[in-house]
Amino acid sequence: MRQYFNCGRYRFPLRGEGARPLVMGVLNVTPDSFSDGGQFYSLEAALSHAEQMIADGVDIIDVGGESSRPGAKSLPIDEELRRVMPVLYALRDCGKPISIDTTKPEVMREAMMAGVDMINDIHGFRRDRADHNDHSDNVLRIVSESDCALCIMHMQSDPLTMQLHPQYEDVVREVIEFLHERVAELALVGVERSRLCIDPGFGFGKTLEHNLTLLKNIGRIQTELDLPLLAGLSRKSMIGTITGKLVEDRLAGSLAAGLVAIAHGAQILRVHDVAETVDALKVWQAVG
């Protein structure tokens, strides 16, 4: 494992003194996200929530303007830009790395111009995505021209259809192979490995069994890729299926899943409940 994770203007130690699990806080400026759709849709509400996350100890703020819940349709570029750009400009000097959660090359480019530190792409920076036209800007060229961190996520199919019939012969092997392929292609365009982290994509084209298998094998995935692993488990349907709880009642299950992920080698948790996650990790670190 390398020593540092370079995240735009920021650098996080991965080993030795100062190294600890990182908390990425979710800031959805959407009316329809599965967990908090509409809560932070206005600029004022979004900034207030970001300020609270900072006070609660967040390490990275992940801003998203398009829902990726199962069944979600792609959002027009202009609408996504309208939602996220005011938030990105308002937060760029907040003292924390700002991530943009987007699949669109055009949004990535505008976000980089606004000074974001990280790009989180559920499509894994692929050029062959069916939801983009052939004349779309080349995503690899765009990200290669920046110093942003890149989160490469695995997803089978797309948000509209991903949960209809997810199938794998060996989910761990197939996720690892996909991530290896994406890392290699990014390397070909000059993206340094120190800028990369990986995400197995819990809930994105996976059944409960697939998700649990991936969770058990986080250590293998992280070791084979030799990159920091981000786990996004917060409030997801797998937590609801296991606990029988609605989205708003999945805090305890989400904390448990996050600690399991960290214990197996994850280094970043993407969460909705920052304060509670930070406290849980402090206890975990004190014992470990």
Cα 17 to chain center, whole Å? 25
Single-letter amino acid code for the residue at 240: G
Q: What is the H or E stretch that residue 274 is in?
A: helix 274-287
Rounded CA-CA distance 245/275 in Å is 21
**How far apart, in Å, do the first and last CA atoms of the chain sit?**
19
Q: Are 195 and 6 in contact (CB under 8 A)?
A: yes
Q: What are the backbone dihedrals phi and psi of residue 62, each rounded to the nearest 5 degrees, phi first?
A: -105, 110
In 73-169, where does DSSP find H-type helix? 77-91, 105-113, 139-144
Between 171-188 and 208-216, two packed helices, what is the crossing angle to 10 degrees? 70
Q: Which of 126, 195, 235, 270 is catalytic?
A: 270
CA nearest 204: which of 85, 122, 95?
Answer: 122
Assess whether 235 carries a catalytic annotation: no
Q: Which of 182, 195, 236, 250 is catalytic?
A: 236
Single-letter amino acid code for the residue at 230: L
The DSSP call for residue 241 is H
Q: Exposed (0-12), middle (13-18) or buried (19+): which is 115, by Cβ within 10 Å?
A: middle
Assess whether 236 carries a catalytic annotation: yes
Catalytic residue numbers, as ranges: 236, 270
